[in-house]
Structure 1
């Protein structure tokens, strides 16, 4: 009996040792599983675990999911940011402390003819060679603060003007931002030219009128036929200013109107017939003015604006066609499109001038234009009227043989 009493404690101890060993082995397996997962978390899944390890692994699983979600959201945010930068019309270039290219978007590639795969790592001053940029980069190196300049660069569609800004960025880096300001510069040039031209056009008749008036403010003012000649010339110059101001007001109204043209049904045949009568009076019998075709088709639009546009084309033909010439008017439907044309046997226009004819005050021969009594705004008015009606102006001309001005309107404007 005493032997059995001695054996039981040993058996219990052995069982306890076995149980502790098994538990320790399980803990070691769980620890090894955790060690293996930590060594390569991307290649393995988190173990399931048991007991307290299950809670640990469960929390690790939740943290892992949260980390992946955050990485996914961060990746999405970075991709959206990258796409946003790529979509910007402005060029954006990231430069390091030595002004070497780190990254650039598509617009910067277009602006400077660069390659996003080839050019990173290259000094930007080696790729943008304009002297203005070299001076800008030198000034920026001397004083790293916001610096800007305008560059003229060659593009596929001609010379472009770029506004370039260097901006200090984080950790010694620099942002280069380029904006295409070609249209703004062109608009500003046109504005300056417009003001200069208006001043010139008004100054000339005012000088003439002022000079004649001074003749009347003398001890022996002109009388008789001399006085009548002076008055007649002053009246002509006053009429010239009146036409100029009227055309300026018309052009201003067309350019600034946000409303579509009125939707009247215009009898173009009757309009052209009336304008022909006025052209005959302007010609005073020096030209043959005829109509080749007058369709019955009518046009939806503004009668006043169409009258101004067609009238300018017809009266220009009279002014620039020598005596004895022929002017032909036509209103027809061509391939479904309502089409008005004026053909003359006048002096013609060289090809290099045709693209600029609709610019305000642009004249091929300034002396002849002034003598003809034109204001230099007629074709600009025509262009704006047609644009408001969805149409376009086509010009064909042969120097010395004449010109044809054709107004084409959308099919839907035909009645």
Structure 2
């Protein structure tokens, strides 16, 4: 800028001399001085005009264009224009960085709420809106304690001790369990980070229930086996042959029950492990279903009328052992939960491009409130009856996993006292000619 003003001074002197010197030579010194003064006044007005443009630009909005000038003012305005471009570029870069940061925060699987020392919300992402039923449009600037009034949260917020997270239940969203932690940053600024741990809690509850159920299911037969074994070991001479045979029969029954439970646990563990699936093969259904019919008739011991209909010879692309396990469980459950004298119908058909294995019985039926939970491990409608029939409580869980691996679904219809209908439905891509 100093170079510009040196050039301006030299230009001013040159113009003054160029105008006043000839006038002084022809008309005298007084006229020359008057001409010089007039030139200086004109130059002053010219500069005042540019200065007025500069002041107008400074007072205008930040997006106003830099005015154009002449002479030294053109150089000055060009320099201002260059600086404006640099600043706009910096602002654009900063805006893009801020926008990337906001998008990253929005993409986080956790909720984030920024708030000040007065607990007023500065900003929150969409996940936090979902976790706390808030709205960034209307709740920004509101106090957190006015929106999240749970006593545990208010105590945690006021305590100032944020090294340990808070497990937050019973909030504004039903069925949601959150892990909350406050992270101080900057000058009296804080972040409230929320993580949805509902599924983790459900999984942990299922794990505890699973261990409790396995322990309970094994305890009864083990007690029977241990008790009768101890009786026989202490003195089998005091028991008659008929008693001994009866005790050995009970021991064998309970041993088979434990063996069946362990086998089902191993099958279910294999299905749930997410390991590589066995080699897919062509599974011919007719010989498999006739074998399952024979097993069901053996389990029934002549107490039920069991029929099998195969409307169309067919084969599935899948895993034979898993399909046999699923179909056997459906047939076996029908036998176990149908009173003596009832009937069980098994059917394979292809209808509208969908393959269906249907098991219909005239059994005790199931209440509608139980249907959504039937495929849970160890879920039983009537626990005492399940023990009487020798069920492990894992059959339908196995069926569900097998069908899922085969892209199939299980449909259940049942009426208490009238019977049930279980249908395994396979999409057309699983059917083979």
TM-score > 0.5 by shorter chain: yes
- How many residues align? The count is 408
Q: 1:333 aligns with which of 330, 343, 350?
A: 350
Confirm or deny that 1:35 pairs with 2:55.
yes
Confirm or deny that 1:357 pairs with 2:374.
yes
CA positional deviation for 1:243: 0.9
Q: Distance in 2 between matches of 1:313 and 1:219?
A: 44
Q: Distance in 1 between matches of 2:172 and 2:357?
A: 37
Deviation per CA, 1:49-75: give whole Å up to 9, x if none.
333333322221111112112222222
- Say if 1:166 and 1:174, in contact at 8 Å, map to a contact too: yes
Q: Secondary structure at the match of 1:259?
A: coil
Deviation per CA, 1:339-362: give whole Å up to 9, x if none.
111111011111111111111111
- Say if 1:261 and 1:388, in contact at 8 Å, map to a contact too: no
Q: Secondary structure at the match of 1:300?
A: strand
Match of 1:104 in 2: 124
CA positional deviation for 1:9: 5.0
Confirm or deny that 1:169 pairs with 2:185.
yes
Deviation per CA, 1:264-302: give whole Å up to 9, x if none.
121222221110011111111111111244321321111
Confirm or deny that 1:115 pairs with 2:135.
yes
Distance 1:55 1:258, change over 3 A: farther
Distance 1:211 1:33, change over 3 A: same
Q: Distance in 2 between matches of 1:51 and 1:121?
A: 52
Q: Distance in 2 between matches of 1:118 and 1:44?
A: 33
Q: Distance in 2 between matches of 1:220 and 1:6?
A: 155
Confirm or deny that 1:135 pairs with 2:155.
yes
Match of 2:362 in 1: 345
Match of 2:421 in 1: 404
Q: 1:57 aligns with which of 77, 87, 109?
A: 77
Q: Distance in 2 between matches of 1:59 and 1:144?
A: 54
Q: Distance in 1 between matches of 2:422 and 2:123?
A: 51
Q: Which runs of 5+ in 2 are unaligned?
A: 1-23
Distance 1:155 1:64, change over 3 A: same
Higher Rg: 2
Distance 1:208 1:394, change over 3 A: same
Confirm or deny that 1:234 pairs with 2:244.
no
- Say if 1:298 and 1:414, in contact at 8 Å, map to a contact too: yes
- Say if 2:236 and 2:244, in contact at 8 Å, map to a contact too: no
1:156-195 maps to which residues of 2 (within 5 A)? 159-195=175-211
CA positional deviation for 1:8: 5.5
Deviation per CA, 1:200-230: give whole Å up to 9, x if none.
2222222211112211332555452322222
Structure 1 runs, 4 residues or longer, greater than 6 Å off: none
Deviation per CA, 1:160-214: give whole Å up to 9, x if none.
2122222223222322222221111000000011111111222222221111221
49-58 vs 264-273, greater mean Cα deviation: 49-58
- Say if 1:136 and 1:147, in contact at 8 Å, map to a contact too: no
Confirm or deny that 1:208 pairs with 2:253.
no
Give the alignment's Cα RMSD to 1 decimal.
Answer: 2.4
Confirm or deny that 1:275 pairs with 2:292.
yes
CA positional deviation for 1:154: 6.5
